[in-house]
Amino acid sequence: MFFRSWDGLLRVVLSAALVYVLVVAALRWVGARALAKMSAYDLIVSIALGSMVASIPLSTSISVVDGLAAIATFLGLQELTRFLQARYRAAHHLVRERPHVVVWDGKLIEDRLKQLDSSADEVRAAVRQAGILSIDAVQAVVLENDGAWSVMQRGDESDPDKMSALDGLDIPGRGPLKTGVPTERSRPKPEHSQRPPTSSAASQL
């Protein structure tokens, strides 16, 4: 049927406009992090939210309030998950897959590429995009949890503290890398030196 009634059309227009305004307001509340490069977890949540947003104005069995309550629940759970990920590493690894080192010390790690369903050509393309001519000149290539490739040139691999960006990653022949770089919480607070008395205070003594 091409057209049912003006009442139904008006309901769709008003519902879509209201949902649009509230979704824009929700994105302002969530912040720029929601619009950053998404991982698989963020993509699934975004698809689910998009499905709900589309179904609210078109479905007569779902009221606008019910749909907005579902959207608010999803956004609240997503923000709670992000809060836990930021505070606890175990929660971060539970939700997001760990990055994988697929090249180390200029050598491709073939078994990891097979596990990740990736190819050596993808690694070579990432190395070319980094402006490097040869894989031999690369210390590490990491497949990040958002699907991006990180390429790092050779450096001083004898000192783990100089490879803090790889902290926690599984390095061939070493296992998970542990660096000694202190975090902001673990850094000791500087001691404030006592100021010498001023000339006026010294004259009063």
8-state DSSP, 161? G
pLDDT at 202: 46
**Are residue 88 and residue 104 in the same domain, yes or no?**
no
Q: What is the mean pLDDT of residues 31-38?
A: 57
**Are residue 117 and residue 87 in the same domain, yes or no?**
no
**Are residue 68 and residue 113 in the same domain, yes or no?**
no
In a domain, 201, yes or no: no
From 94, 109, 134, the end of a domain falls on 94
Average pLDDT, the chain: 77
Say which CATH number the domain at 143 has: 3.30.240.20
Chain segment 133-145, per-residue pLDDT in tens: 999 999 999 998 8
Domain that holds residue 135: 100-170
Rounded to whole angstroms, the Cα distance separating 160 from 126 reads: 24
**Are residue 71 and residue 129 in the same domain, yes or no?**
no
Task: Give strand ranges (E) for the chain.
Answer: 100-104, 107-108, 138-143, 149-153, 170-171, 175-176
Distance of CA 97 to the CA centre of its chain: 11
**Are residue 24 and residue 54 in the same domain, yes or no?**
yes
Chain segment 81-112, per-residue pLDDT in tens: 888 877 887 777 777 778 899 999 899 999 99
Rounded to whole angstroms, the Cα distance separating 195 from 78 reads: 49
pTM for the structure as a whole: 0.57
User: What's the number of domains the chain is made of?
Assistant: 2
Rounded to whole angstroms, the Cα distance separating 184 from 106 reads: 33
Which residues, including other chains, have CB under 8 Å from residue 14's CB and lie 6 or more apart? Answer: none
**CB atoms closer than 10 angstroms to residue 2:** 3
